[in-house]
Amino acid sequence: MENKQVRILNAALERFNHFGFLKTTVDEIAKQAQVGKGTIYSYFNNKEDILLALVDREFTKGFTVIAEAMDQEKTAIGKLKKMLQTSIDYFHTNKLVSKVMAMDPGLVLSVITEKNREYQKLSIAGIKSILEQGQREGVFRKVDTERVAYTIDSLIRSFHYLNYLGLEIYKPEEMLDSILDLLSLGLNKR
């Protein structure tokens, strides 16, 4: 990614973080990035494209952080725990996810719906791989790994959505042990 493009994305993230997606203009992003408005349009078609590029950048970073944390674990249970913990830690402290999406949840989520589906597929594939490893290790019982992976992904997303909407009662990190207990009861061999 070119230096100007990175500056534009960083400026947009700061503007979105402070003023929200709806209240931020391309002119303001250009001014903060110290580039001309035309420069922005040489990289992006509109403000929504800037948001999509930010989502790509931040979610790619998140998935990389999660994958690196899981690589440190050998067992399926260890990987599942690391995946849950790292996902909650990363996505609840990331400015784009924790603040920008929370400020304009309806609009932002409608803009990123297609990207969200792509990331959901990646997440489900990763979780499915952990479940299959756990079955091979003999610690998880035989389940429909696709459906269970979808369910686990949905559980994780529910914490993120509650955060976006400002409706959390408990902090997700406080719920980690409860989530792991629930998953263990459902997945462990009986």
Domains, the chain, ordered by start: 1-44 (1.10.10.60), 54-187 (1.10.357.10)
How is 65-116 classified by DSSP, letter by letter?
A: HHHHHHHT--SHHHHHHHHHHHHHHHHHH-HIIIIIHHHSHHHHHHHTHHHH
Residue 145 is predicted with a pLDDT of 95
Q: pTM for this one?
A: 0.82
Structure tokens that stand for 108 in this block: 């932002």
pLDDT digits (tens, 9 = 90+) for 105-132: 676 667 777 788 888 999 999 999 999 9
Q: Which residues contact 176 (CB under 8 A, 6 or more apart)?
A: 84, 85, 88
Residue 32 is predicted with a pLDDT of 96
What is the separation of C-alpha 188 from the centre of its chain, rounded to a whole number of angstroms?
27
